[in-house]
Amino acid sequence: MRIDNGDHVSASRKHLVFAYYVTGHGFGHATRVVEVVRHLILAGHDVHVVTGAPDFVFTTEIESPRLFIRKVLLDCGAVQADALTVDRLASLEKYSQTAVAPRASILATEVEWLNSIKADLVVSDVVPVACRAAADAGIRSVCVTNFSWDFIYAEYVMAAGYNHRSIVWQIAEDYSHCEFLIRLPGYCPMPAFRDVIDVPLVVRRLHKSRAEVRKELGIGDDVKLVIFNFGGQPAGWKLKQEYLPASWMCLVCGASDDQELPPNFIKLAKDVYTPDLIAASDCMLGKIGYGTVSEALAYKLPFVFVRRDYFNEEPFLRNMLEHYQGGVEMIRRDLLIGHWTPYLERAISLKPCYEGGINGGEIAARILQDTAIGKNYVSDKLSGARRLRDAIVLGYQLQRVPGRDIFIPDWYALAENQLGLRTASPISEMSRTSSLAKSCTEDFEILHGDLHGLSDTMNFLKSLAELDTIHDSGKNTEKRRMRERLAASTLFNWEEDIFVARAPGRLDVMGGIADYSGSLVLQMPIREACHVAVQRIHPSKQKLWKHAQARRNVKGQESTPVLQIVSYGSELSNRGPTFDMDLSDFMDGDNPISYEEANKYFAKDPSQKWASYVAGTILVLMTELGIRFNDSISILVSSAVPEGKGVSSSAAVEVASMSAIAAAHGLDINPRDLALLCQKVENHIVGAPCGVMDQMTSACGEANKLLAMICQPAEVIGLVNIPTHIRFWGIDSGIRHSIGGTDYGSVRIGTFMGRKMIKSIASSLLSHALSSANSQKHMDGIISDDLEEDDGELLEDESSLDYLCNLSPHRYESVYAKRLPESMLGGAFLEKYTDHNDSVTVIDHKHNYGVKAAAQHPIYENFRVKAFKALLTAENSDEQLCALGELMYQCHYSYSSCGLGSDGTDRLVKLVQEMQHSKLSKSKTGTLFGAKITGGGSGGTVCVIGRNCLRSSEQILEIQQKYKDATGYLPFLFEGSSPGAGKFGYLKIRRCVLPSLS
């Protein structure tokens, strides 16, 4: 149906023309489009499919003159390096080339084409620009999908840096022109669409029975059959006969023409119709995608899946698969080395129980037909601008409260409640804490340590005590919710000691990214913390998970030390809940493997890379302290420090893990040294180029105090009391913070390049001054008279500058500011200076690095932090608070000038400023005085300083609500403080033996 000046122009129900755009990501989209298109054609309509997929995907199922295929690729989807690996940067680059650079030309071409075919409706799965082209052509458009590209690309932007962020917003804006969304089961959050119609699974029909397919293949019913299905990306799989259990056969999809297979593997043709083969198999082994999951559920086929890297769609489909008892997760390592048997045998014991509809294609086609003739399925009360405004809600990250598992369909209803304010009264909190303490002492005998009255520690012990009562209830919902706890329930021997450590996240009050330049920093440990429980177990007594036992059996090992880790909260992101490895994997002969080898070890499977933060502490202890681990180790990690908010969730995990492991092995490591060891984990094993302030605060901080530290490399100069009239808050922007992305790394490199240049300039000036003290000759455009007589000693120090923050602001301005370039190409720098002398970053020859702003920031930041620290001890006055706030504002804008920051954090700082300078605030005593972005990276949390009073809290809540009104996202608030790991110490506990009832 076309739109003419806002009035509907009716089309004929008998013959409609549909333009159906299909995204270029894999075959899954094309295969589900086939089913919708088939029903549209059966109803007598013409369908023009715009796709980059091969023709056979459509023509083998639809033979009709009403099907028109136009081979055009208008978006690239996610670029995959192989069947399991999405290349995030390549995806964004390809999308820029495919859809951004030629955007004007694409729109003009598509509008002309839509008019030429006289399209009545544009359907998109899920090509963004198709919605905009339809709007420009005056045609209604509808999307049919279970995910949208703004949500998928949001994760990639964190790795790509600031310059690609506009892609996410452009995609969301394109989708906002869509009339409504026909949403498929297993859907992701799609905030760019506000009007939604849900339909059942879209599944391709069967052409042949199970018996017919097996007869054609020559496979009897007594043979177990697995279909190996990793989509359209050939991966050069090296398959061996022993990968399969005896009497099993495997059907291989997507094998290359020259690939030779063992006799128990059968190569399928490229254009084979897979639904028939899926229904004829006993289970499927592959990666999760809409096509594989929907057909596995529809035909009740157990699905052994291996996680795919960096694809945000996967957790939602995985939850749906497991909800209906249809899924078994295989660790990628076991896939590659052929430990398939325990997974396949587990799969065929499942009884998938999906009973929902599988006629989504037919229903979607009927909705599309009715829409094309003018029927309004949805109201027009929400404009495209309103839809776009809400795109920030979930467009940048999958946001969930730690420790909670959420049903897929409940997302929108639950999100605000879960992110809401804590409303419990102090009295009820005290009562609850007292009750928890009593129950904890009943559950465990505390042999060493103190609970410190921390309710989160009591909660952790309570959840730990409940593990030995967990059993497999058999209920679908309970099994899905308790998956992590079921794995954790086998970790510990309850008759032996367990060691528990706790480490908080931190709020960066002042210092931020100046830490790696040697600055003074002021950091506050927050209330949210990570708990880690560790137990040493003799290898012969350890309960191994099935795949680990199978690995041991294959190696012929009786009892070797094994590390097993369970991490609560895997549903928060696309990562596995468990990790295990033989501790011998950390050894190369008699010596530990290198950090570089460890980095590669964990990078092989990004869904388990999280384990590098935990297991990496073991390798660092082996390497740096010469410790050898002869017992198996069981570790349970439970962190309430939200990820991606700039409050050091990774440091909390590292510090808590190393503290618990050290306690379990009788190692006495002081908090400062432990923090430095944890930094090695992050820098060298995880591969994130962070400074040391995060680990130091988590290890050495104390509640309600600021840790003052000079990062050269880590000299704690004391704890600074927060005056009782001052309070700090953290407000989360909802935009994921990352120090692993190019923004943070590029600024760090630019800073070290600036230091190298300053040292070089100082050396040149010193050499010139010594050799030509009375000369007026020019040297590189520098006149020696510019130098004062006393500059020689200063230049000598500056020529060997160890930390950039040791250069004072006035020296920087008088000598170096005008001589530093704004930016420099990496290759040009290396050619002139050879190296930037930073062991944790690598210069890209082709990248242009900002130098001046990056070098200037830490020099001035060090001065600001010193001034801030001094002001904290000044007399209580508005002038004191205004000066403290001004220093924070200056820090924020200096930070932004480096190329960091984000729209969200800038908006929050502006809201604080507006609140501070409002007429109402001025008419009363001001309560909020300053704000700044925290930590490193380009998103995360803003730190706010204010007067410690009720009105301040009210204003913080007002800012929280204003931010939600503007963006749709309700910020998480960080309030309160708690002790660091050193102050907490450790708990040594043992399960109390309950008296038997007689």
**Any idea which residues carry the catalytic annotation?**
694
H runs (alpha helix) in 26-102: 28-42, 56-59, 88-95
Token code pair at residue 771: 């050799």
CA 691 to chain centre: 20
731 DSSP assignment = E
Measured CA to CA, the distance from residue 189 to residue 923 in angstroms comes to 43
The DSSP element (H or E) to which 709 belongs, if any, is: strand 705-710
- What b/e sequence results for 429-451 when a residue is b if at least 16 CB atoms lie within 10 Å of its CB, and e otherwise? eeeebeebbeebeebbeeeebeb
Annotate 492-503 with b (16+ C-beta within 10 A) or e (fewer): bbeeebbbbbbb
Residue carrying structure tokens 């159906």? 20
- Distance (Å, whole) CA 377 – CA 372: 11
Contact 593, 587 (CB under 8 A): yes
Are the C-beta atoms of residues 221 and 240 closer than 8 Å to each other?
no
Residue type, 93: E
Q: How far is CA 935 from the centre of its chain?
A: 17
Question: Residue with structure tokens 């900002």?
Answer: 850
Q: Coil, strand, or helix at residue 202? A: strand
Q: List 943's β-bridge partners, or say none.
A: 730, 932
Nearest Cα residue to 304 out of 341, 252, 343, 345: 343
Closest alpha carbon to 22 in 122, 103, 115:
122
> For strand 782-783 and strand 823-825, is the pairing parallel, antiparallel, or unpaired?
unpaired
In sequence order, the β-bridge partners of residue 46 are 17
Gap between the Cα atoms of 707 and 696, Å rounded: 9
In this structure, the strands spanning 67-71 and 46-51 are: parallel
Rounded distance between C-alpha atoms, residue 707 and residue 697, angstroms = 6
Helix axes 742-771, 826-833, angle to 10 degrees: 30
Q: Are 223 and 245 in contact (CB under 8 A)?
A: no
For the chain, what is the total number of helices (H) and then of strands (E)? 37, 36
Residues whose CB falls within 8 Å of the CB of residue 870, separated by 6 or more in sequence, listed in order: none
The helix (H) or strand (E) run that includes residue 67 is strand 67-71
Tell me how crowded residue 471 is: count the other CB atoms within 10 A of its CB: 10
Size of the chain, expressed as the number of residues it contains: 998
